[in-house]
Amino acid sequence: MLKKLLIANRGEIAVRVIQTAKALGYRTVAVYSEADANALHVEQADEAVCIGPAQVAASYLNADAILDAAAKTGADCIHPGYGFLSENASFAKAIKQAGLTFVGPPENAIELMGSKRRSKIAMQEAGVPVVPGYEGPGKGNGASDDELITAAKDIGYPLMLKASAGGGGRGMRLVESENELADNIKRARSEAKQAFGDDELIIEKAVIEPRHVEIQVFADRHGNAVYLGERDCSVQRRHQKVVEEAPSPFVTPELRKAMGEAAVKAALACGYEGAGTVEFLVDKDRNFYFLEMNTRLQVEHPVTELITGQDLVAWQLMVAEGRPLPLAQDEIELNGHAIEVRLYAEDPANGFTPQTGTLHQFTPAEGKGLRYDTGVRSGDVVSPHYDPMLAKVIAWGQNRDEARRRLIRALEDTAVFGVTTNRHFLSRIIADDTFGAGEATTAFLQQAFKDDPSLAPQPLTIRELALSACVLSLSGTGQEDWSNAPATVMPMKLETQDDSLELLVRHSGHTLQVSHGEEHYELQLQSHEPGLLCIIDNGVRQRCQYYRSGDSLYLQAFGRSWSVRDITHQPAQGAQGAGSGKVQASMDGGIIDVLVAEGDQVEQGQTLVILEAMKMEHPVKADRSGTIGQLLARQGDQVKRGQLLVQVEANEEADA
């Protein structure tokens, strides 16, 4: 009998595992970096051990520190969550050698399925359909550049280059023609080496506009293996999953059975135990091809839990204790529909740049069929050190439309103040007609959302400025009855993300009028309490949620979120305009490539440096044309947000 579980992870998955472990009677141990000392998973665990400073490489990837924490606390089993060390065969082996139980598959299965090349060969031998491609000259050797180029001629274009050790879209590149191949091989190898320490690549024929459908499998030590339906993860951006749902609107019962049986075959072929996910690409004719196997619990496992009524973490712990699976294949039933989205601290209107800062308020919406898996709460700091996911928002319904409606409402009613999020972008995806019809492929976002308003900065309307002025006028007064309030006229100056604006505010009784230049807007005030203002706007009662911190105001209304600063009483300051030539890091991260040298001539908008942060590459561009003067960026450097990377000197002709 296992008694004490250490969770070798952080954030929402650590909280998720702790909840089930406690419900089953386990004592729980959290590990944390110095940056996470006050994190929710630390608070909820029975015990917690600091395993290092904020940097990921020195903390949650430090296997020795994690094993030492287990020894200190007397933990007899370790759950790896996902990410970090969850698919590290050496970590699983070290846990076993320490006399502890790893809540996951055997290290041999992790090692095999961690290689796209070796796993694909194994699946071919097991009779699982795979995408046509080239995996190298043999089981022991990866392909050279020349071998990849030669193989590509036989496979044909378009094709996909993939890092053999990859995941999350890193080291993956779509190649449309032969003249693009050599450069893409170089870039993919560089990305793979940087991300995984392994630059081995494979080539696959590109399946154009496929569905990405994955099967949840479970196996035990007694030779039993089952599948628990499928999840459709086709809605992706840069190969990163954005929306996941179960069951897939595209999968028929016959296809579900065929894919499920193939996934079980894959699990048995590698001696699997515990939770795993076999990912497939499905073409328009419903032919399916093995993509990879994730040897861990998936981020999107809640949708499977909601349609099966099973706790997958509880199943993992049963298998780890040596017990048989709790259900046979014919006992597993699917009920209703579930959809999950990943709520991130990121700015869709500015290239999905990760956001950091204090999460002043995080209040999930309430309602039937809603589930939030989160590792944060109000007052937490969103750190640059880790993935910026705030929560997984999941909705269940008796049918797909009911789940969609509930999820849209949950996203619109969840209050998030302090950091910009992708909340409205997610809501627009779920409300989209193509998604609603169940027709979204992996090309959906690229095609349907190319020019979506949520992906470009939108200036505040006079209506939104009026509401901002209204809240600023009232949020500090505590006044609830305006019937006898004296009429006032006052100037107000607001700073938005893009500009500073001068307003004239007239307040008389329940009426507030705001003017900006030739634009005018009128609101009727109905009720006010801290954090919530109700107005009558064009005859319709509207609610506005807000959070005020000093001069800063965060608002959520009309299906949009925005922030302003009240600078009415601040002295004017000289602006450091665009085109200064001081090219700075847009966020904390690592320099993975420098594309220019001192003395080079560059054009405004030209990419100078590639910065990697939070699993994504971000180009850093010149803000004016000129000559590279100081070049402070070096490949491999870790830099802070705002750090000067390049100085672009204006050319004399331009100055003249």
Angle value at C-alpha 371, between 368 and 373, nearest 5 degrees: 165
C-alpha to C-alpha distance for 392 and 297, rounded to whole angstroms: 15
C-alpha to C-alpha distance for 471 and 542, rounded to whole angstroms: 13
Q: Could you report the per-residue pLDDT of 537-558, keeping only the tens digit for each?
A: 989 999 999 999 888 999 999 9
Nearest Cα residue to 464 out of 552, 554, 568: 554
Determine the average pLDDT of the residues in 106-130. 93
Q: How confident is the model at residue 483 (pLDDT cuts 50, 70, 90)?
A: low
- 4-103 belongs to CATH 3.40.50.20: yes
What pLDDT is attached to residue 229? 98
Lookup result for tokens 């597993």: 332
Tokens of 164: 């053999």
Beta pairing class for 159-163 and 626-631: unpaired
For 96-141, the three-class secondary structure string (H helix, E strand, C coil) is HHCCCEECCCCHHHHHHHCCHHHHHHHHHHHCCCECCEECCCECCE
C-alpha to C-alpha distance for 593 and 111, rounded to whole angstroms: 30
pLDDT value at 167 more than 90: no
**What is the torsional sign of CA 306, 308, 309, 310?**
negative
C-alpha to C-alpha distance for 14 and 6, rounded to whole angstroms: 10
117, 136 Cβ separation under 8 angstroms = yes
What pLDDT is attached to residue 485? 63
How far, CA to CA in Å, does 549 sit from each of 176, 197, 359, 473, 552? 50, 44, 12, 14, 5
What pLDDT is attached to residue 575? 34
What pLDDT is attached to residue 476? 54
Sequence-separated (6 or more) residues with CB below 8 Å from residue 538: none
Determine the average pLDDT of the residues in 378-388. 91
How far, CA to CA in Å, does 99 sit from each of 2, 27, 73, 84, 102? 12, 18, 14, 22, 10
271: alpha, beta or left, given left = phi > 0 and alpha = psi -120 to 50?
left
Q: How confident is the model at residue 615 (pLDDT cuts 50, 70, 90)?
A: low
Return the number of other C-beta atoms located less than 10 Å from residue 44's C-beta: 16
What pLDDT is attached to residue 653? 54
Determine the average pLDDT of the residues in 176-191. 90
Sequence-separated (6 or more) residues with CB below 8 Å from residue 130: 120, 123, 124, 289, 290
Largest CA distance in the chain: 86
Return the number of other C-beta atoms located less than 10 Å from residue 385's C-beta: 20
pLDDT value at 488 more than 90: no
Q: Could you report the per-residue pLDDT of 41-97, keeping only the tens digit for each?
A: 999 999 999 998 865 556 899 999 999 999 999 999 999 999 999 999 999 999 999
How far, CA to CA in Å, does 335 sit from each of 198, 304, 315, 396? 42, 10, 19, 10
How far, CA to CA in Å, does 655 sit from each of 605, 625, 626, 632, 650? 19, 11, 10, 24, 7
Q: How confident is the model at residue 135 (pLDDT cuts 50, 70, 90)?
A: confident
What pLDDT is attached to residue 266? 96
Beta pairing class for 77-79 and 4-7: parallel
C-alpha to C-alpha distance for 289 and 609, rounded to whole angstroms: 37
Residue-averaged pLDDT of the chain: 90
What pLDDT is attached to residue 655? 45
Residues in the chain: 656
Higher pLDDT, residue 189 or 588: 189
What pLDDT is attached to residue 574? 35
Tokens of 249: 């609107």
Active site residue 296: yes
230, 243 Cβ separation under 8 angstroms = no
316, 343 Cβ separation under 8 angstroms = no
Q: How confident is the model at residue 482 (pLDDT cuts 50, 70, 90)?
A: low
Extended beta strands in 109-256, E state? 133-134, 159-163, 173-175, 201-205, 211-219, 225-232, 236-237, 240-241, 243-246
Q: 462-566: what fold? A: Glycoprotein, Type 4 Pilin (3.30.700)
Return the number of other C-beta atoms located less than 10 Å from residue 580's C-beta: 13
In degrees and rounded to multiples of 5, residue 580 shows phi and psi of -75, -20
DSSP-derived secondary structure for 504-565: EEEEETTEEEEEETTEEEEEEEEEEETTEEEEEETTEEEEEEEEEETTEEEEEETTEEEEEE
For 473-500, the three-class secondary structure string (H helix, E strand, C coil) is HHCCCCCCCCCCCCCEEEEEEEECCCCE
CATH architecture of 116-126+210-335: 2-Layer Sandwich (3.30)
pTM of the shown model: 0.84
Beta pairing class for 532-537 and 519-529: antiparallel
Lookup result for tokens 């698919």: 87
Lookup result for tokens 């870039």: 187
pLDDT value at 475 more than 80: no
What pLDDT is attached to residue 58? 67
Determine the average pLDDT of the residues in 505-510. 86
Angle value at C-alpha 581, between 577 and 586, nearest 5 degrees: 80
C-alpha to C-alpha distance for 607 and 621, rounded to whole angstroms: 4
In degrees and rounded to multiples of 5, residue 348 shows phi and psi of -60, -30
For 304-356, the three-class secondary structure string (H helix, E strand, C coil) is HHHHHCCCHHHHHHHHHCCCCCCCCHHHCCCCCEEEEEEEECEEHHHCCEECC
Q: 582-655: what fold? A: OB fold (Dihydrolipoamide Acetyltransferase, E2P) (2.40.50)
Q: Could you report the per-residue pLDDT of 397-443, keeping only the tens digit for each?
A: 999 999 999 999 999 999 999 999 999 999 999 999 999 999 999 99
Which residue in 296, 371, 406, 624 is the catalytic one? 296
pLDDT value at 571 more than 60: no
C-alpha to C-alpha distance for 455 and 446, rounded to whole angstroms: 12
C-alpha to C-alpha distance for 639 and 594, rounded to whole angstroms: 13
- 132-205 belongs to CATH 1.20.950.20: no
Pick from 35-44, 536-545, 569-578: least confident: 569-578
Q: How confident is the model at residue 489 (pLDDT cuts 50, 70, 90)?
A: confident
C-alpha to C-alpha distance for 45 and 57, rounded to whole angstroms: 23
| Portion of the chain with pLDDT greater than 70, in percent | 94
Q: Could you report the per-residue pLDDT of 624-648, keeping only the tens digit for each?
A: 899 998 898 888 888 877 788 999 9
Angle value at C-alpha 205, between 204 and 210, nearest 5 degrees: 105
The identity of residue 614, as a single letter, is M
Domain ranges of the chain: 4-103, 116-126+210-335, 132-205, 343-427, 462-566, 582-655
Pick from 83-92, 93-102, 186-195, 322-331: least confident: 186-195
C-alpha to C-alpha distance for 454 and 514, rounded to whole angstroms: 26
Q: Give the distance, in angstroms, between the CA of residue 572 and the centroid of all CA atoms in the same chain.
A: 39
What pLDDT is attached to residue 55? 59
What pLDDT is attached to residue 573? 42
pLDDT value at 393 more than 80: yes
